[in-house]
Structure 1
Amino acid sequence: MSEQISLQAEVPTELGGKRLDQILAQMFPDFSRSRIKTWILDEKVTVNGEVLSTPREKLLGGEQISIETQIEAPREYEAQDIELNIVYEDEDILVINKPMGLVVHPGAGNPDGTVLNALLHHHPDIINVPRAGIVHRLDKDTTGLMVVAKTIQAQTHLVKALQKRDNFTREYEAICNGTMTAGGMVEKPIGRHATKRTHMAIHEMGKPAVTHYRVAEKFRAHTRLRLRLETGRTHQIRVHMAYLTHPLVGDQLYGGRPRPPRNATPELFSQLRDFKRQALHAVKLSLAHPITGEQMTWEAPIPEDMQILTQALREDTKANPDLVY
Structure 2
Amino acid sequence: MTQQINLKSEITATQTGLRLDRALAELFPDYSRTRIKEWILSGAVSIDGTTVDKPREKVFESQEIAIDATLEEEVHAEAQDIDLNIVYEDDHIIVINKQAGLVVHPGAGNADGTLMNALLHHHPEIEHVPRAGIVHRLDKDTTGLMVVAKTVEAQTHLVAALQARDIVREYEALVTGTMTAGGTVDEPIDRHETKRTQMAVVHGGRPSVTHYRVAEKFRAHTRLRLRLETGRTHQIRVHMAHIGHVLVGDPVYGGRPRPPKKASEEFFDTLKDFKRQALHAVRLELAHPFTCEIMTWHAPIPDDMVKLTKAMRKDLEENPVEYL
Normalization by structure 2: what TM-score?
A: 0.78
Q: Aligned ranges for residues 153-302 of structure 1 at < 5 Å?
A: 153-166=153-166, 168-302=167-301
Counterpart for residue 99 of structure 1: 99
Aligned position for 1:81: 81
Shift of 1:266: 2.3
Question: Which string of whole-angstrom CA distances, capped at 9 and with x for unpartnered residues, describes residues 6-31 of structure 1?
Answer: xxxxxxxxxxxx96999xxxxxxxxx
CA drift at 1:75: 7.6
Specify the SS of the correspondent of 2:254.
coil
Mean Cα deviation higher: 267-276 or 151-160: 267-276
1:268 deviates by 1.3
The answer for the alignment partner of 1:132 in structure 2 is: 132
Q: Letter of the 1:191 partner, please give it.
A: D
Q: Which amino acid aligns with 1:88?
A: Y
- Counterpart CA distance in 2 for 1:291 and 1:141 is 31
What one-letter code is carried by the residue in structure 1 that aligns with 2:91?
E
1:45 corresponds in structure 2 to none
Which residue of structure 2 aligns with residue 13 of structure 1? none
- Check the 8 A contact 2:184/2:210 in 1, yes or no: yes
Matches of 1:189 and 1:164, distance apart in 2: 18
For residues 37 and 247 of structure 1, the distance between their equivalents in structure 2, rounded to whole angstroms, comes to 35
Q: Distance in 2 between matches of 1:77 and 1:227?
A: 33
Unaligned runs of 5+ in 1: 1-17, 23-33, 39-54, 57-73
Amino acid at match of 1:229: L
Q: Is the 8 A contact 1:213 1:228 kept in 2?
A: yes
> What's the counterpart of residue 112 of structure 1?
112
Give the distance between the partners of 1:21 and 1:123, measured in 2 at CA.
35
Following TM superposition, the consecutive aligned residue runs of length 4 or more in structure 1 with deviations greater than 6 angstroms are 18-22
Question: Hey, what's the Cα distance between the residues in 2 that align with 1:179 and 1:203?
Answer: 26
Indicate the SS of the match to 2:87.
strand
Partner AA of 2:86 in structure 1: I
Matched residues, number:
265
In the TM superposition, what is the alpha-carbon distance from 1:144 to its structure 2 partner?
Answer: 0.3
CA drift of 1:267 comes to 2.2
One-letter identity of the residue aligned with 1:276:
K
Q: Is the 8 A contact 2:213 2:224 kept in 1?
A: yes
Matched, 1:146 2:137: no
Hey, what's the Cα distance between the residues in 2 that align with 1:106 and 1:184? 35
Query: What's the C-alpha RMSD, in Å, of the aligned pairs?
Result: 2.4
**Amino acid in the other structure paired with 1:169:** V
Q: CA deviation at 1:35?
A: 4.5
Q: Report the structure number with the largest CA radius of gyration.
A: 1
State whether residues 133 and 151 of structure 1, in contact with CA within 8 Å, keep that contact through their aligned partners in structure 2.
yes
SS in 2 for 1:176: strand
Does the aligned pair in 2 maintain the 1:179–1:221 contact within 8 Å? yes
Report the TM-score, using the length of structure 1 for normalisation.
0.77
C-alpha contact (below 8 Å) 2:75/2:107 kept by paired residues: no
Is residue 81–residue 118 contact of structure 2 (8 Å, CA) maintained in 1?
Answer: yes
The 3-state SS of whatever aligns with 1:321 is coil
User: In the aligned structure 1, how far is the partner of 2:35 from the partner of 2:192?
Assistant: 34
Alignment-mate amino acid for residue 240 of structure 1: H
Unpaired stretches in structure 2, ≥5 consecutive residues = 1-16, 22-32, 38-55, 58-73
Structure 1 Cα separation of the partners of residues 227 and 112 of structure 2 = 30
Q: Distance in 2 between matches of 1:98 and 1:78?
A: 19
Residue identity (%): 69
The one-letter amino acid paired with 1:147 is V
Give the superposition deviation at 1:309: 0.4
Superposed CA offset, 1:53-103 (max 9, x none): xx99xxxxxxxxxxxxxxxxx881110011110000000000000000000
Distance 1:21 1:221, change over 3 A: closer
Q: For residues 202 and 295 of structure 2, what CA distance do their matches in structure 1 show?
A: 35
1:117–1:182 distance in 2 versus 1, CA, 3 Å? same
The whole-number CA distance in structure 2 between the counterparts of 1:219 and 1:288 is 36
Q: Distance in 1 between matches of 2:124 and 2:321?
A: 59
Q: Give 3-state SS (helix, strand or coil) of 2:238's partner.
A: helix
Question: Following TM superposition, by how much is the alpha carbon of 1:205 offset from its aligned partner in structure 2, in angstroms?
Answer: 2.1
